Amino acid sequence: MPPRRAVTGRSQEPRKRFVEELRLLRAQKGDSLRQLGDVLGWDWSLFGKMEKGETLGGPEVAQALDQHYGTPGLLLTLWELAAGDPTQFKERYRRYMTLEAEALSLWHYAVSVLPGTLQTEGYAHEVLKVGGTKGEELTRQVEARAGRCKLLTGEDAPPFRTILSEAVLRTPLDDAEEWRKQLEHLAEAAERPNLTLQVLPHGSGPHGLVSTDVMFLRLPDGRAVAYTENAHRGELIEETSSVEHLQRAYDAMRDLALSPAESRKFVMRMLEEVPCEPST
């Protein structure tokens, strides 16, 4: 059977097809980006980034565009396909890494695993291995995480704040000695002038980021972007109102966390609980 030919001639790759439809529908409607922003109530730059493939926006944006263009369900369906395409995770993550290297400040929340910028090689190796990474790829990713740690050291290191759920510190590695090294590294890092570490206790109750790891980056152009992640996927968020919504949830959660001084003491207590190696 001969290969099936594309009927429309448009891309069959979900993200590219989404971008193509956005451009085509706006051209047919005759809207400028600014006009689109005025009508729908989002910053017009969001639509420009969506048409460049730099961000997908959110499902609410796709729904609003469907209504505006009279294409019920089309753009939302394409958005869902693009967002669920596993190849897009790597693209979003590569862009995030570029932005992270440029950031003037970073602030972060961890649900269950330490941020890569604070992981020892032993911790990174065990976490990545449990996640299914192995062989040469495991070695490469461990080395990459070790390289990211350099972002927070040196004279020009940006300010970094991390809030760790207590669960992060209550989930030790199988290797007690590697876990000790990780906690010692964390305690030392908390003494750096550019780093603020806080612990969110179990008793703090529910909050707006209860199941979401997030990293905020303040960029040289004054913008803030966010990268959210769970066990299955990550998403780079650049749309202003969505980032602000996450920031408000982060600020409310930070009010529930222990102070930096109390948090350092908490880490030291965790370190005291690590079993010592038996004497030989």
Delimit the domains of the chain by residue range.
14-82, 103-113+157-273
pLDDT at 210: 85
Amino acid symbol at 86: P
Q: What is the DSSP letter of 154?
A: S
pLDDT at 108: 97
pTM of the model: 0.68
pLDDT at 11: 66
**How many alpha carbons fall within 13 Å on the CB side of residue 83?**
17
The pair of three-digit structure tokens given for residue 85, joined into one six-digit string = 């395409």
pLDDT at 143: 82
pLDDT at 147: 79
Nearest to 99 by CA among 16, 221, 232, 214: 221
Low-confidence residues in the chain, pLDDT < 50: 1-7, 279-280
Domain 14-82: give its CATH architecture.
Answer: Orthogonal Bundle (1.10)
